[in-house]
Amino acid sequence: MIAAVAMAIALTLSGGQVGVAAERSSASAAAEPRVGIPLVLGTAAVGGQVTVEHGMAPLAPHENGGGVQYPRPIARYSYQWLADGKPIAGATEGSLDIRSALTGKQLSFRVTARMPEGGPVVTATSLETPRVIKAGVVEGVRLPINPESGNSRFAVAAKGWPAGTKLTHQWVIDELPVKGATGRQFELLPRPHTTMNLGAVVTATRPGYETLLLHLTSGGRAGLFGSTLQNAGAPQIVSAAGAGTPTGQAAGILEGFVARNGGQLVGAKVTVFRTGRGSAYATPVEVTSRVTDADGHVRIAGLTPGNYCLKVAPARGYAQEPPDCNSPWTDATARVYAGSESSFMLRTEKIGAIRGTVTDSRGKKVRGARVTAYYAERTVQGFDRLRAVATVTADSGGAYRIPNLPVSSYVLKISGTSSTAHKADWWRSKGSGFEFDSTWVEPGKTMTRNAVLAAYVPVGTPTVSGRARVGSSLTVAHPKTKGVVYSYRWKADGKSISGATSSKLTVRKGQVGARISVQVVATGSGWAKTTRESAKTARVSR
């Protein structure tokens, strides 16, 4: 079966409906199930799959092991898929695999909700999908090797797309775009003794529809002798409507809970950010915010259909793991659809901290050292980058502490009091061969990460004495440290003078009109290699 892209199919506003029938007249409105208009997600195409989401209110806390309580629906739900408004035999689950017999039909979904102790029965039917057709496909294929260069070649193959759909391409290596590689084909140049992850981002656009971003990645390491480019074992397919969801649909609702260990997080501020439409993501823009009630519940209505990210401000010693707002696969992201209610569950954990001591390579505590914590976030283009979340300064004993850190993985960068005293560096485990190592902050715990900064030799700024005149001698002076070896390189207008590598220089005729300077390099056990350069002299005269 062809895998479906996780996206909303095009819906029509005329089909959605909600009905209520009373089984017990004494039931209060508060006990009435709320399901909204169900959301049908997936691809209206043969070989694809559609799934459903719907509101599940009211909810009650439920212990899920280890004393952790999460909301659980009170009502009982039954399902039925429909084709052109008629029940599909045996289609009573939350998902439906689309068979060829459904070609040309519009699909919808009906949910019936009943309270366990009687009361109102709520029936809701989703909006209808476009008519089922065969799907558009994009996949990566490996072409024959270029007979002239011997290089590997790849291409993006596409078929079955609706008329008016435009596909553009961007090839990427190790998730970074290759400059100028925007054609349907790509030739991988040889890179001896290296491997890389090869992929392509295909953008599908169609007038009146949302943009789709389709990511094709290599099934293995696609290097000089790499594997065939593929898409995780299966091509991607898209909506029968073309690229995304039609514009101009009615507003929707987000409703959910903020949970913590032991129950719900009360009084927490939830900020909602809009991050794009369809499968295209954009820089998050703040829309509104709400504070959770006594049940940890929050409801936001009147939202334009599209992608949203929800961020929880730290409260009562709990915090949300830094959310990835540019990914549809996290708890913090949600999609809002026309006339429908989308649910979410945001989990928080006890905040943690990182502490440690900064010492230099000479064994001295570094007072005033700055320690910055970063975490990795995904950009709109789908690439990772480091984002600074906190910076602290070490005390007189070199000790530091970064408090109020949500559970997550962090990278630490340490710098001294000045760029001339210590070499700034990333924290890494002892003996690690990596540029930096990450630190996972566990719930409610303080992690210890001691750091050593390489100390620079205190050379200061070298000074040059003597007259800048042909036949005269120039001498360099600077502070000297026991056990350190110094080397010199004299320069004329910034260019090295051949053979001029001692602490003195006799000015020659060839330097007339030039300005002289000297570079001092200091090396020694326990010290970082230190390079300093003097100011330039006046121009050399005869």
Regarding whether 284 and 191 lie in a shared domain, the answer is: no
Q: Check whether 472 has a pLDDT greater than 90.
A: yes
Domain assignment present for residue 513? The answer is yes
pLDDT digits (tens, 9 = 90+) for 413-429: 999 988 888 988 988 88
Domain assignment present for residue 183? The answer is yes
pTM for the structure as a whole: 0.57
Domain assignment present for residue 66? The answer is yes
Residue 199: pLDDT band (50, 70, 90) is confident
Q: Check whether 24 has a pLDDT greater than 70.
A: no
Regarding whether 86 and 48 lie in a shared domain, the answer is: yes
CA neighbours within 13 Å on the CB side: how many for 240? 24
Least confident of 316-320, 327-331, 380-384: 380-384
Regarding whether 36 and 52 lie in a shared domain, the answer is: yes
Q: Check whether 79 has a pLDDT greater than 60.
A: yes
Closest CA to 202 of 164, 241, 240, 158: 158
Phi/psi at 31 (5° precision): -90, 5
Regarding whether 259 and 195 lie in a shared domain, the answer is: no
DSSP secondary structure letter of residue 88: P
pLDDT digits (tens, 9 = 90+) for 201-225: 888 777 765 566 677 776 433 322 2
* Total domain count, the chain: 5
Domain assignment present for residue 246? The answer is no
Q: How far apart are CA 330 and CA 318, in angstroms?
A: 19
Domain assignment present for residue 54? The answer is yes
HEC string for 225-266: CCCCECCCCCCEECCCCCCCCECCCCCEEEEEEEEECCEECC
- Dihedral, 432, 433, 434, 436 alpha carbons, nearest 10: 40
Regarding whether 116 and 23 lie in a shared domain, the answer is: yes
| Cα angle for residues 375, 378, 381 (degrees, 5° grid) | 150
Residue 30: pLDDT band (50, 70, 90) is very low
Regarding whether 335 and 361 lie in a shared domain, the answer is: no
Q: What's the CATH code of the domain at 100?
A: 2.60.40.2700
Domain assignment present for residue 115? The answer is yes
What is the predicted pLDDT for the residue at 134?
A: 66
Q: What's the CATH code of the domain at 383?
A: 2.60.40.1120
Domain assignment present for residue 364? The answer is yes
Q: Check whether 290 has a pLDDT greater than 80.
A: yes
Residue 3: pLDDT band (50, 70, 90) is very low
Please write down the long-range contacts of 511-517, taking CB distance under 8 Å and 24 or more positions apart. Answer: 511/470, 511/540, 512/470, 512/540, 512/541, 512/542, 513/539, 513/540, 514/539, 514/540, 515/468, 515/539, 515/540, 516/464, 516/468, 516/474, 516/490, 516/491, 516/492, 516/540, 517/464, 517/490, 517/491
Q: How far apart are CA 476 and CA 343, in angstroms?
A: 72
Q: How far apart are CA 293 and CA 17, in angstroms?
A: 29
| pLDDT greater at residue 325 or residue 66 | 325
What is the predicted pLDDT for the residue at 151?
A: 80
Regarding whether 384 and 317 lie in a shared domain, the answer is: no
Regarding whether 128 and 20 lie in a shared domain, the answer is: yes
pLDDT digits (tens, 9 = 90+) for 226-260: 222 322 222 333 332 333 344 444 677 888 889 88
Closest CA to 393 of 368, 422, 360, 411: 368
Average pLDDT over residues 139-165: 79
Q: What's the CATH code of the domain at 299?
A: 2.60.40.10
Domain assignment present for residue 245? The answer is no
Domain boundary pick from 176, 206, 237: 237
Percent of the chain as helix, strand, coil, to the nearest 5: 0, 50, 45
Regarding whether 152 and 111 lie in a shared domain, the answer is: no
Sign of CA dihedral 282, 236, 241, 83: negative
Question: 147: domain range?
Answer: 138-237
Regarding whether 437 and 325 lie in a shared domain, the answer is: no
Domain boundary pick from 118, 133, 148: 133
Domain boundary pick from 346, 368, 390: 346
Regarding whether 407 and 367 lie in a shared domain, the answer is: yes
Q: How far apart are CA 16 and CA 43, in angstroms?
A: 18
Regarding whether 111 and 95 lie in a shared domain, the answer is: yes
